[in-house]
Amino acid sequence: MRMFVTGTDTDVGKTVFAAALAGALQASYWKPIQAGSLDHSDSDTVSELSGLPPERIFPEAYRLHTPCSPHRAAELDRTAVDCDSLEPPDVDPLIVEGAGGLMVPLTRQALVIDLIDCWQLPAVLVARTALGTINHSLLSLSALASRGVSVIGIAFVGEASPDSEEIICALSGAKRLGRLPQLNPLDHDSLQRAFRDNFSLDDFR
């Protein structure tokens, strides 16, 4: 069970979903590139929400200061992202989380989807349920299909939008894995409970 959690866009909820999934599977977690929010990174969020022990949260390969596309954040830090040197930890189960969406540039030559393709990891696509999700989701699923990436399914985040969720899956053929509602409060217990209520671990195995 090694998979890549990606999103249709930035801030769609993929870190919270990745935390829920990693916690439910008792998997390890790795985000190769963090751009911005170094005082409270996505790895920190996953650590808090998943309940995983520290040794299962692998450190980022790159910690970039500016909250923007990694290629530009690296340039501003006067460094370079070497995609050829990136390799997922040799552990199983493993959740790898990408930066932003599939077409986010990591360098001036390489995109997030290039890493997924190179590593041949099956993907979980996280999509918001708000307006615009049909277009973003179908474009993302089409991009994954064009590379021959195996797609485990699509996980929605937000308020229920049955028609949007249904038509995305009908037109793409992607499996609807479930929907994670907005949680208040958001903590380990509420997240794990919501994941158990809305997803089946068998879909990820």
Go through the domains of the chain in sequence order and give each one's CATH number: 2-204 (3.40.50.300)
Phi, psi of 87 (to 5 degrees): -150, 130
Its pTM stands at 0.96
Strand residue runs (E) in 119-191: 123-128, 151-157, 176-180
Angle at 129 between CA 180 and CA 60, to 5 degrees: 60
pLDDT digits (tens, 9 = 90+) for 127-160: 999 999 999 999 999 999 999 999 999 999 999 9
pLDDT of 19-71, one tens digit each?
A: 999 999 999 999 999 999 899 999 999 999 999 999 999 999 999 999 999 99
Q: Region 168-179: what's the mean pLDDT?
A: 98
Q: Where are the beta strands (DSSP E) in the chain?
A: 2-7, 28-30, 33-35, 57-58, 62-64, 94-101, 123-128, 151-157, 176-180
pLDDT confidence band for 205 (50 / 70 / 90) = confident
Determine the pLDDT at residue 54. Answer: 96
The rounded Cα 109 to chain-centroid distance in angstroms is: 21
Positions marked active-site? 31
Q: What percent of the chain has pLDDT over 70?
A: 100
